[in-house]
Amino acid sequence: MDLTETQISSTAIHDASFLKVYQDQIRLPNGNSSQRLVIRHPGAACVLAITPENQVVLVRQWRYATGQALLEIPAGKLDEGEDPAQCALRELAEETPYSAERVEKILHFYSAPGFCDEVLHVYRAINVQANSTLQPDADEFVETVLYSAEQVRQAIANNEICDAKTLIALQTWLMGQS
Amino acid sequence: MDLTETQISSTAIHDASFLKVYQDQIRLPNGNSSQRLVIRHPGAACVLAITPENQVVLVRQWRYATGQALLEIPAGKLDEGEDPAQCALRELAEETPYSAERVEKILHFYSAPGFCDEVLHVYRAINVQANSTLQPDADEFVETVLYSAEQVRQAIANNEICDAKTLIALQTWLMGQS
């Protein structure tokens, strides 16, 4: 079955920030036309960083859209033209008092493919080290939290962890432990 | 550390569809003000359905925002006031030739908490049965795909599966198998 939907036209509703919003007119596989509201996002990278003590490096930060602080792996939007691996290394060092020698790709995924093109690139940090310095942006408020595998298991079971990228990365970690 | 960000004002940029877009002026924990573009979504439910032959029920459908067809677990937006469990049962029956007696909650998660309030409610289907009838909407184009646990393991490893809710549900399934 041909599933392809094609663009007929696209109207920008908002393009003044990193998120751009379009109302597109599209052609369905059966020839009918329809509409799609589409959110365009530059993409992001995130990192599963395990310390030498076998704890995962998490960050707690306010998520305005959700009205609460969430526990997540370090992550950030890609700068224009930025290599996602570099972005993952940068975010770990900027958001936490840890850094890594390098990162290896685990996988990528779409966070909300029904309406948004955001791709999350998920990395595993190699040779994680504690740093003495942490210099976040003046307007960035992030706490570092370290969890053992057992604490992660518990935090998934009781749904304390409820962020997509964090669940995917931590499940990957737990599956590698067993 | 107090992480709370509070709303100063909110301006609707788009509110004519199920997705609503707002530009909010906010107060940061240090008293500074900032802006947040926020996408408001009604929430959605999805379902991990395993057949009596121990295969997972997947759907392949075009995801316009991503420009490709993706392999996902059955899912759909919540109708206004709808119980997410009912939505999960309904989507399984509407999108695939399978239905379930009932569903049990696995967890919920935010797909993209950096800019969107969408909550995904993830369920496990109980007593999955094949139906003879499948009557999708005329403008809905969905193929059913059945994968064994081994095929799922492969499809995660080679990143054929790259949808957030599907990765979370399938990793949960695989972790229960070992």
Cβ contacts of residue B175 below 8 Å, gap of 6+? A171, A174, A175, A178
Contact B11, B26 (CB under 8 A): no
Report strand pairing: A44-48 vs A119-130: parallel
Cβ contacts of residue A32 below 8 Å, gap of 6+? B139
Count of beta carbons in the 10 Å neighbourhood of residue B1 = 8
Q: Does A164 touch chain B (CB under 8 A)?
A: yes
Question: Does residue B135 surpass a pLDDT of 80?
Answer: no
Give SS3 for A31. Answer: coil
Amino acid found at A40: R
Cβ contacts of residue B19 below 8 Å, gap of 6+? A37, A39, A115, B39, B40, B41
Tokens of B154: 């492969």
Question: Does residue B112 surpass a pLDDT of 90?
Answer: yes
Question: Does residue B50 surpass a pLDDT of 70?
Answer: yes
Domain boundaries, chain B: 6-40, 44-177
Distance CA B169, CA B15 (A): 31
- Could you state, in chain order, the average pLDDT of each consecutive group of 10 residues for chain A (178 residues)? 93 92 95 95 98 98 97 97 97 96 98 98 98 70 96 97 98 89
Separate counts of helices (H) and strands (E) for chain A: 3, 10
Contact B5, A62 (CB under 8 A): yes
A28 interaction partners in chain B (CB closer than 8 Å): 139, 141
Say whether pTM exceeds 0.80. yes
pLDDT score recorded for residue B79: 95
- Furthest C-alpha separation in chain A: 61
CATH 3.90.79.10 assigned to B44-177: yes
Distance CA B61, CA B97 (A): 15
In Å, how far is B79's CA from the nearest CA of chain A?
16
Question: Does residue B132 surpass a pLDDT of 70?
Answer: no
pLDDT score recorded for residue A2: 87
Q: Does B174 touch chain A (CB under 8 A)?
A: yes
In the numeric block, the tokens 């316009």 are attached to: B64
Tokens of A55: 């704890």
Give SS3 for A74. Answer: coil
Of B4, B30, B66, nearest to A113 by CB-CB distance is B66
Q: Does B139 touch chain A (CB under 8 A)?
A: yes
In Å, how far is B12's CA from the nearest CA of chain A?
11
Residue from B19, B33, B71, B115 to probe the interface with A (highest A Cβ count within 10 Å): B115
Strand A33-40: give its sheet, edge to edge: A6-14, A20-27, A33-40
pLDDT score recorded for residue A177: 80
Hey, are the CB atoms on B14 and A21 less than 8 Å from each other? yes
Q: Does A14 touch chain B (CB under 8 A)?
A: yes
ipTM of the predicted assembly exceeds 0.90: yes
Tokens of B144: 């059913």
The stretches of A38-148 forming alpha helices (DSSP H) are: 84-95
The DSSP secondary structure of A51-90, one letter per residue, reads -TTSEEEEEEEEEGGGTEEEEE--EEEPPTT--HHHHHHH
Contact A116, A22 (CB under 8 A): no
Quick one: pLDDT band at residue B128, thresholds 50, 70, 90? Answer: very high
